[in-house]
Structures are given as C-alpha cells and as structure tokens.
Structure 1
Amino acid sequence: MELNSIKDAFDRVTKKQKLSSSKSQEIIEQIGQEIEQALSRIQSGKDSASPSDHKLIERTKAKLKEIAPLSQLEGTQKDLNIALSKYPKLLDKSFNPDISKAYRNIDFDIHTVNQIIASHFYRQGQFDLGDCFVDECHEPEAAERKAPFLEMFQILEAMKSRNLEPALNWATNNHEQLSQNGSDIELKLHRLQFVEILQNKGRDEALSMLAFFGSICCQTYG
C-alpha cells in the first residue's frame, strides 16, 4: 500500500481548500470595503436621493463586478471540486473494502464464547432461547447464569403489577452486599410499599407497616 501517494493527494486537497477559502475571503473583504465607501458617500451627501446617488450606485455595481467576477469564484471552486472527487477514488484503489481480507485464522475459546452468548440471551429475558442454546452447544455450566436474571425479571413483572414483595425479599436477602455498595434501594422499596399501602389500605394500615419497619430502618440507615 503506497501511503505517500494518499498523503500527497490529501495535501493537494487541503491546499486547494485553503486557496479557495482565502480567495473568497479576500473578495468578500474587498466587496465590503466598496459598499462601505459607497454608503459613506451617500450619507455625506443630501438627505434625499438625487441623480448623483443613482450614478454612484451604478459605479459601485460596476466596481463590484470588476473585483469579483463570477468566473473567478467558479474557477477556484472548480479546482477544489476536482481535487475532492479524485481523493475518494484514490482511497478506493489503495484500500481493499473486503473486510474478509482482514480475517486471521486464530483459535477461539469456544467455551467462553458460548458462556457469553448464553448470558446475553438470559440478560435479555429470552430464557427459552437461552436454554435451547445451552442444550445445543452442550454447555450445562452456562445454565447457572440463568437464575439471577430469571429472578430479576420475575421481580420486574411483579413490580409492574404493583407487588413489591419479591423486590423486598431480594433486598433483604442481599442486605449486606447492598450496604457494602452504599445502596439505599432497600429503604426506597420500603418507602414505595408504605405509599402503596397508604393509598390502597388506608392510614392505619400504613402506620402499622411503618411501625414494624421503622426500628429496622433507623438501625440500618441512621
């Protein structure tokens, strides 16, 4: 692969782009100066328009055409477009777009790959597909990854039905690990349960629940 030719082509494109940009900027500045001078002459004259003002405007228009003829702007832009159109063609010739050419025949740890695929299915809640994959590839150990994800989806389904008991049981069973991670999800779940009971079963039932969990929450979260 000849990288020097690619670099040279890129340099030509950037050079044309800079030339086109600087030329356009130069013309814009000249046009601005001519317009400002014309406005200054008009403002320094009479308050009302006069035939001389129209002559001044016509002279300014003619001057602008001399400064920036359309052909001059088109020329620099055309050179830039030609350079830009050639560069992608050179890239296509220099680099093989066939990704299979980059393939290397290396050994994969099939066991690890199967574990990753099975975990992906379980993480997405596709348990039947995950079980089928585990059976087909004869990876019984991968099935061990199913349990925590299955429990998670069961908790989520219960919460959709406004049943917080599975989530509270999970938080209680994992209390130590949650505390080590600085998580207050257990307290938040109890708060949600309190609000749910207050809305559906009334104030007395909610206060009873609060009294039951109050001492535990105070000891745990201060």
Structure 2
Amino acid sequence: MELNTIKDAFDRVSKRQKTSYTKTQDIIDSVGKEIELALNKLLNASEGSGVDQNAVIAELNAKLNEIGPTNQLGGSQKELNVALSKYGKVVDKQFYPDIAKAYREVEFDGHIINMIVALHFYRQGLFELGDCFISEANEHGAASLKAPFVEMYEMLEQMKARNLQPALAWASAHSDELVRKGSALEFKLHALQYMQILERGIQRDALTLQGVPLHLLHPFTWRKYKSLWVAYYGQAVLRTLLILNCFHLLTGMPFH
C-alpha cells in the first residue's frame, strides 16, 4: 500500500481547499466593501444634494457584475471538486472496497456471543428484551445474569423515591468487597442519608442515628486517631463529633 500516494493526493486537496477559502473570503470582502460604499452614499445623501439614488444603485450593480462573484466562486469550487474526485479515486485504488477480499473464516463461540448480548440488554435495564433473546437463543443458563441488574434497578427506583434503605443494605452486605476496590459508596450513601434527615429538620435524629459504622463518618481521621479519641472522649461523644465534622465537610456550613 502506497501511503505516500494517498498523502500527496490529500495534500493537493488541502491546498485547493485553502486556496478556495482565501479566494472566497477576498470576494466576500470586495462585495461587502462596494455595498458599504454605496450604502454610505445613500445615507449621506440629503434632499437637494443632487445625489441620484437610482444612479448609486446602478453603479453598485455594475461594480458587482465587474467583480463577478458567482463566476469566480464557481471556478474555485470546481477546482476543489476535481481535486476531491481524484483523491477519492486514489483511495479506492489503494484500498479494497470489496469486503469479501478481507473476509476470513473465523469460528465464533455462539454461546459467548449470546451471553454478551444478553448481558448488554440486562445492563441497560431491558429485561423483557433480554428474556426474549435468551429464550429464542436457547441460552437459559444466561438467566442468572439478570438477578444482579434487577436488584440494581430496584435500588435505583427506591433512591429516586428517596428511600435509601435497600441501597444501604446492599452496601453493608458488600462492605468488604467495596473496601477492597477502594469504593466510598457506603460512606456516600450514609452521608446522603444524613442530608435527608437534616433537610427534614430532625437534627437530633442525625446526631443519634444508630447503625452507622464510625469509620464511615470520617474514614481517614478515624483510622489515624481511633484509639486516642475513644479513650479521651468515649464512644458516644466521639460519634457526635464525627457526625458534626461530616456535616461540615459535606455542606461547608457550621452545625447549629
């Protein structure tokens, strides 16, 4: 494959395009200048000045005909089209447009392809379509792929309804796995739960909310000063301090 030939043809097209652009811009500027001059003459003309408006328009028309923008633009565009046509022929000559010449006999694992398609449907929440596909493809083993995504979409619907409990329960059940992956999902869900409580104005419930692991409220600070703070403040007071700090980090506002 002669890539240099393709590059040379492309360079010629690029050069023609730049030339066409420059010429077009010059013509537009010339036409605009003549129109502006004629407009100034008409605006500056006053009654009794002896300026014939019809003569000004006729003069403008004559100058525009002299410039010949249509003919000039047409010629420039024609040259560009010729270069583009030649470039297309060069590309067609270097590459084989017939896909049959690039075809190879490759054995595909139909089962894996079906599983990928079914997984895509379930991931997009198209459960009926996914069920129909695995039924027609006789891939009944793919039904096990559906359950995690059904659970995920159910949690999302509950979250839209401002119910975080299903998501919190799932995050708690998979806490160790989330930690191994470096995910802060569980912490963010609990933080969102605090914000919901505070939005309802129930500050006391936010301070006494049970069932939230202390390390989630401020994980880095808690890991660093855990033993010292527990010994000095006690577990209950420490929980309150961490919640207040969490609120400040989330909102940037002091807690009153």
* TM-score where L is the length of structure 2: 0.54
Quote the residue 1:162 is aligned against.
Answer: 162
Quote the residue 1:46 is aligned against.
Answer: none
Displacement of 1:207 in angstroms is: 2.2
Encode CA deviations 1:36-94: one digit per residue, 9 max, x unaligned.
xxxxxxxxxxxxxxxxxxxxxxxxxxxxxxxxxxxxxxxxx998875554232232244
How far, CA to CA, are the matches of 1:181 and 1:9 in structure 2? 48
Shift of the 203–114 alpha-carbon distance from structure 1 to 2, 3 Å rule, reads same
1:213 aligns with 2:212: yes
Displacement of 1:95 in angstroms is: 3.2
Encode CA deviations 1:81-115: one digit per residue, 9 max, x unaligned.
75554232232244333435433232110010011
Displacement of 1:15 in angstroms is: 7.3
Encode CA deviations 1:161-216: one digit per residue, 9 max, x unaligned.
1110011001000000111112221111111111112222622222221x552646
How far, CA to CA, are the matches of 2:10 and 2:181 in structure 1? 55
Quote the residue 1:116 is aligned against.
Answer: 116
Task: Provide the secondary structure at the position in 2 that maps to 1:125.
Answer: coil
Quote the residue 1:52 is aligned against.
Answer: none
Contact map agreement 2:197 2:205 (CA 8 A) in 1 = yes
Shift of the 16–201 alpha-carbon distance from structure 1 to 2, 3 Å rule, reads closer
| Larger mean Cα displacement after TM superposition, 90-99 or 163-172 | 90-99
| Larger mean Cα displacement after TM superposition, 147-156 or 194-203 | 194-203
- Match for 1:146: what amino acid? K
Quote the residue 2:96 is aligned against.
Answer: 96
Shift of the 212–138 alpha-carbon distance from structure 1 to 2, 3 Å rule, reads closer
Displacement of 1:217 in angstroms is: 3.4
How far, CA to CA, are the matches of 1:140 and 1:158 in structure 2? 29
Contact map agreement 1:121 1:127 (CA 8 A) in 2 = yes
- Match for 1:169: what amino acid? A
% same residue: 46
Contact map agreement 2:13 2:87 (CA 8 A) in 1 = no
Shift of the 177–85 alpha-carbon distance from structure 1 to 2, 3 Å rule, reads same
Quote the residue 1:58 is aligned against.
Answer: none
Consecutive unaligned residues in structure 2, runs of 5 or more: 23-76, 223-256
Shift of the 150–81 alpha-carbon distance from structure 1 to 2, 3 Å rule, reads closer
- Match for 2:138: what amino acid? H
Encode CA deviations 1:127-157: one digit per residue, 9 max, x unaligned.
1111111111121221111111111111111
How far, CA to CA, are the matches of 2:78 and 2:125 in structure 1? 57
How far, CA to CA, are the matches of 1:191 and 1:117 in structure 2? 36
Shift of the 17–183 alpha-carbon distance from structure 1 to 2, 3 Å rule, reads closer
Quote the residue 1:183 is aligned against.
Answer: 183
Larger RCO (CA under 8 A, 6+ residues apart): 1
Instruction: Give me the CA root mean square deviation.
Output: 3.8
Contact map agreement 2:186 2:216 (CA 8 A) in 1 = no
How far, CA to CA, are the matches of 1:218 and 1:205 in structure 2? 15
How far, CA to CA, are the matches of 1:143 and 1:7 in structure 2? 53
**Aligned residue pair count:** 172
Quote the residue 2:145 is aligned against.
Answer: 145
How far, CA to CA, are the matches of 2:13 and 2:153 in structure 1? 60
How far, CA to CA, are the matches of 1:79 and 1:190 in structure 2? 67
How far, CA to CA, are the matches of 1:220 and 1:193 in structure 2? 17
